[in-house]
Structure 1
């Protein structure tokens, strides 16, 4: 791959050549109308170690819980009545357990209204200069920054599988990006969304986030903040809100994830199983698109051109529009004892976390990684290589919860 830094002009020329050869943008657009790990890190794939069952909301900030979920809350010392009456909004930092069975995510109708969505802060993982330079001998030279390009509107015609992931953290409403992916065990009827581990779980020093919801093709027409005040619900969420009733991430992220990504960055991926806030068909049927996931974990040199899509929310962006970066990846590593990651030049900021990275494989666009970490100057992004560990998380989600 890169042995020296290229000039910006040379890089742009090379990117145009490779892009023309792969047709990455064209392939991704077609999906709107068509329907590695270390081996030592095992997925969090036990039924009680990966997820929660959602309950139906009854509006007004209250929820109705099925008996099995109420029993689980009681087992953790939670007063169910208080929890239903608004206790779900309270975070006790001392009791914010990191055990996977403590992730509960009942549907609360009306919680994610447009104004609350716009208030969500980016959930970025910023790598310090010290961290990024610690393994210079293991990483290829830093890539030339690639200026993020706005996706064409309407998004449902150009990048329908891409959307935003909203959730509540102890610090308040937060946002990431995500992608609708196919469910190999339930063809044509997938309810699976791929995102980053740090968009569902805080890592080694915390627990699961709450009120996770996925909004595909958010702000479909790419309207400005001023224009969104008069936008219709169908323009903001053309396919509605999809609540995560189950979630899985890797043990590598749960145990090693940190504010800067840390040892968990190479395992920073997650899968959500979602359902609509109000009835209906599967996510894939509703959106009309879903992408396969490539778990072959190709080396950076063999991966070819990649494109990263997402909704950057930190300045100079505001999280309202979808952007993309296209580049040939290089190898990036934070430590000799961690798997290497992919790194591309890209100016997208926090909020793009969890957004899918795509490449063309055998003529089809597939998801090959997701945005995990980036530097403070927002010149590049890094994402994990998806190998056996990532496939174990995916397969367990599909087999155990996919048909529900």
Structure 2
């Protein structure tokens, strides 16, 4: 989560306890039985920007399509050297920022349990002046909602939710993500929804590296002491899923910053992933995926929302899944930017990218994702997902979903 340093809470009294309780009961993020089963164009800012990555072969060796190999060569990148540690070179001239330059070859064994536990959240701050710039646009600050631990095992209670790991110039980092359905590949989706700042640094940087999604991380919610010496299968029951394609908005790439910036309202991303080992799709393996609601409902229409994720900054340690349920209000960093949703929630950094869900016609759908929050961890804000987000999603599904 990108943190915001805000002024003193204004408070608001419109909490809907009964509605929140009902949403928890209705949010059936459970798994089904495993195993089995129109042309849109991306717009300009804040629209879709697709990226292409190097892939891997079944024998564990990196397999690079010829066109991608040519692009890597143009940037002076030797894929074998990259795989053997060259990715740690964050020279600004090699920190690739253009979509076509995203590079994420599979490096088997890189994300071991201990390395996952060492990953830290990217917790940033902005000034009180920036946070207060949209007064009159934002609704009063919500009362904090204490995050509740999700029931275990996670695959029975929140199957589509997991963690997103990546390497940044600061070291191993972590976000959260959600398995979503693929409209062009029903029942066999390999798509994951997360935040734009979990895949790309924004206007002053480039694509992050070694992006991996781990569904139902630490499925039994075991403590740090109990996980000492835990096997990879205990930490990642469904394995590691490497991003071989990624898309985030031009709005985030051009306007995103360490503090969220003008890109916060467009802070969303879609990953297309492949298993480090195995051949089934992510949806088949996990047994669940959620539709995305691109109607961008107003806060009055939205009703109650729930945010899920793996908070990693104190008092949390990133090992357990938590959730917050609340009635959303409006929030914006500037009157010139679209409003975001905001709910009361005490989750901290590491929950970034985690899905926000609501119930539509009896079905649980993803309606936003965690983007920014204050340094005192009393609320979360996430982007509204409208036509530009849908264009990004459909372009990803159409162009890369079947790979």
Q: Normalization by structure 2: what TM-score?
A: 0.91
What does residue 51 of structure 1 align with?
52
Q: CA offsets per residue over residues 28-61 of structure 1, 9 Å max, x none?
A: 33532379xxx8624234xxx42313224877xx
Secondary structure of 1:95's counterpart equals coil
Matched, 1:373 2:372: yes
Label 1:381 to 1:135 Cα distance change in 2 as closer, same or farther (>3 A): same
What does residue 401 of structure 1 align with?
400
Task: Indicate conservation of the 8 Å contact 1:126/1:373, yes or no.
Answer: no
Q: CA–CA distance in 2 between the matches of 1:258 and 1:34?
A: 41
Label 1:280 to 1:257 Cα distance change in 2 as closer, same or farther (>3 A): same
Within 5 Å, give how 1:132-147 maps onto structure 2. Answer: 132-147=131-146
- Offset of residue 229 of structure 1: 1.2
What does residue 355 of structure 1 align with?
354
Task: Indicate conservation of the 8 Å contact 1:196/1:268, yes or no.
Answer: yes
- Offset of residue 63 of structure 1: 4.5
| Consecutive unaligned residues in structure 2, runs of 5 or more | 1-9, 35-42
Q: CA–CA distance in 2 between the matches of 1:218 and 1:168?
A: 18
| Greater share of helix | 1
- Offset of residue 216 of structure 1: 0.3
Q: CA offsets per residue over residues 293-337 of structure 1, 9 Å max, x none?
A: 000001112110000000000111110000000000000011111
Q: CA–CA distance in 2 between the matches of 1:5 and 1:42?
A: 32
Q: CA–CA distance in 2 between the matches of 1:354 and 1:112?
A: 19
Q: CA offsets per residue over residues 329-378 of structure 1, 9 Å max, x none?
A: 00001111111000000010100000000000111000000000001111
Label 1:279 to 1:128 Cα distance change in 2 as closer, same or farther (>3 A): same
Q: CA–CA distance in 2 between the matches of 1:215 and 1:295?
A: 25
Label 1:80 to 1:326 Cα distance change in 2 as closer, same or farther (>3 A): closer
Task: Indicate conservation of the 8 Å contact 1:125/1:374, yes or no.
Answer: no
**Where has structure 1 moved over 6 Å in runs of 4 or more?**
none
Task: Indicate conservation of the 8 Å contact 2:148/2:323, yes or no.
Answer: yes
Task: Indicate conservation of the 8 Å contact 2:48/2:389, yes or no.
Answer: no
What does residue 304 of structure 1 align with?
303
Label 1:248 to 1:75 Cα distance change in 2 as closer, same or farther (>3 A): same
- Offset of residue 87 of structure 1: 1.2
What does residue 110 of structure 1 align with?
109
Q: CA–CA distance in 1 between the matches of 2:119 and 2:352?
A: 14
Label 1:124 to 1:366 Cα distance change in 2 as closer, same or farther (>3 A): farther
What does residue 122 of structure 1 align with?
121
Q: CA RMSD in A?
A: 2.0
| Consecutive unaligned residues in structure 1, runs of 5 or more | none
Q: CA–CA distance in 1 between the matches of 2:217 and 2:254?
A: 32
Q: CA–CA distance in 1 between the matches of 2:31 and 2:121?
A: 26
Q: CA offsets per residue over residues 202-222 of structure 1, 9 Å max, x none?
A: 000000001000000000011
Within 5 Å, give how 1:57-72 maps onto structure 2. Answer: 63=62, 65-72=64-71
What does residue 86 of structure 1 align with?
85
Q: Normalization by structure 1: what TM-score?
A: 0.91
Task: Indicate conservation of the 8 Å contact 1:124/1:373, yes or no.
Answer: no
Q: CA–CA distance in 1 between the matches of 2:348 and 2:211?
A: 21
